[in-house]
């Protein structure tokens, strides 16, 4: 099976003020997708926006940074991220990521159920 990215569903999340906060394209939009991989998406965050801090329980999340730059918060510890970096948040821990650059911050996000 295969699809072009234009055929995949993209969800746009907005800020309270109506600005684009995040674009999430579901890369797992296939019949028969493994349910243990709850999310496999291309995430794009505009400059100055962020994916708010959140916890993972019963699942883990991995980011692979494709482009842009940002600050990744791992349970309160902050680190600068850039293309080629990988982050991992196991079950019971939390994280966030903020675009601190002038260009779109793009990464692949994978959530796997324990």
pLDDT tens column, 53-110: 999 999 999 999 999 999 999 988 999 999 999 999 999 999 999 999 999 999 999 9
pTM strictly above 0.85: yes
Domain boundaries, the chain: 11-113
How far from 15 is each of 9, 12, 57, 87, 110, CA to CA, in Å?
20, 10, 25, 25, 23
CATH number, span 11-113: 2.60.120.10
> What does the CA dihedral 20, 36, 84, 45 come to, rounded to 10 degrees?
0
Mean pLDDT of all residues in 16-39: 91
């Amino acid at each position: 099976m295969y699809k072009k990215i234009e055929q995949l569903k993209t969800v746009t999340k907005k800020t309270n003020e109506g600005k684009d906060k995040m674009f999430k394209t579901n890369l797992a939009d296939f019949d028969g997708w493994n349910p243990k991989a709850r999310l496999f998406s291309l995430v794009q965050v505009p400059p100055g926006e962020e994916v708010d801090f959140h916890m993972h329980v019963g699942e883990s999340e991995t980011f692979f940074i494709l482009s842009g730059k940002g600050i990744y918060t791992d349970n309160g510890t902050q680190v600068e991220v850039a293309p080629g970096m990988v982050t991992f948040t196991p079950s019971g821990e939390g994280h966030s990521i903020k675009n601190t650059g002038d260009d779109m911050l793009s990464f692949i996000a994978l959530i796997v159920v324990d």
